[in-house]
Amino acid sequence: MSAASRSAVADRLGPLGFGAAPIGNLARPVSDDDAFAALSAAWEAGIRYFDTAPHYGLGLSERRLGEFLRTKPRDEFVVSTKVGRLLDPNPSYTGGDDLAQGFAVPDRWVRRFEPSEGGIRRSLDDSLERMGLDRIDVLYLHDPDAYDLDRGLAQGLPALERLREEGAVGAVGIGTNSADAAVRAVREGELDLVMIAGRYTLLEQPAADELLPLCQGRGVGVVAAAPFNSGLLARDEPSADSSYDYGPVPAGILERARTLAAACRALGAALPTAALQFPLRHPAVRSVVAGSARAEAVRQNAERMSRSLPDAFWRNLAAWGFPS
């Protein structure tokens, strides 16, 4: 696939993508009907980019997403999934769950870090089988920094590039919460996209220092995931029971989020609206991916993304000490 063709994949993402971790029972059980309703709400709102991973619910997210997407014309959507973790049968399964990893599903499977070419090819084949699709548009190396970053990049990036060269996937990249890991991947590989979660948000922007300028200079598109910092910025008024980076909110972070919410209100916008739109102000960012298993929240996010926030709003926000 040519560079122009790979760029075309990034151009099709759209400003708002659907993150499918919640329909993998992230933190709580979600019924099949509710998952389907959330996906339907995304489609009806015009969202055509859907992101998932084997990690999300030990394959449940991929299965649910695939069942939904099989009802849609294949050329009308972009789907990404991730590699680097294989799902193997759990030899110690006794009826437990996967909540220690954040998902309310039976732990019949265990995750195994395997960024080798053979492992990545098997992971892709397994994902295609779970989803029932004929191809994956974007394939990300998933969180190699959580295991062995050196091995992950040395083995995983060349394997992804070979799959792209063969035409097995349209575009390749890395998906991570670490701006430093993403910088290394961009420097050491030939990537099309970087999915950075929670590190370029209205609340905090460590990805702005090096990652985003590097991507812009090399023509690598950025997908900004988790724009609400795992929920903290998803309400008009952040609360102490909100989640921050999949855990409790530190007092200092909560105070800053409340100050940010007050600034947005004073300037005529709700915090979640500004949080969704902020990443797209950087020229390297191609799409913002937000996840929810609630149809109403999906519709609300799409409506928030469509609202117009004038340049004056962002200029005045800077006077409060926040990025613009």
Q: Virtual CA dihedral for 56, 256, 214, 182, nearest 10 degrees?
A: -30
Task: Give the count of beta carbons closer than 10 Å to the beta carbon of residue 17.
Answer: 25
The question of whether 56 is a catalytic residue gets the answer yes
Distance separating alpha carbons of residues 248 and 225, to the nearest angstrom: 19
CA distances from 86 to 37, 82, 110, 147, 210 (A): 29, 10, 8, 13, 31
| Residue whose structure tokens are 């492992």 | 119
Tell me which residue of 140, 153, 282 sits closest to 216, measured CA to CA. 282
Count Cβ neighbours within 10 Å for each residue of 65-100 and write b for 16 or more, e otherwise. Answer: bbbbbeeeeeeebbbbbbbbbbbeebeeeeeeebee
Distance separating alpha carbons of residues 175 and 181, to the nearest angstrom: 9
Q: Among residues 56, 140, 200, 244, which one is catalytic?
A: 56
Distance separating alpha carbons of residues 307 and 280, to the nearest angstrom: 13
Task: Give the count of beta carbons closer than 10 Å to the beta carbon of residue 21.
Answer: 25
Task: Give the count of beta carbons closer than 10 Å to the beta carbon of residue 316.
Answer: 16
Catalytic residue positions?
56
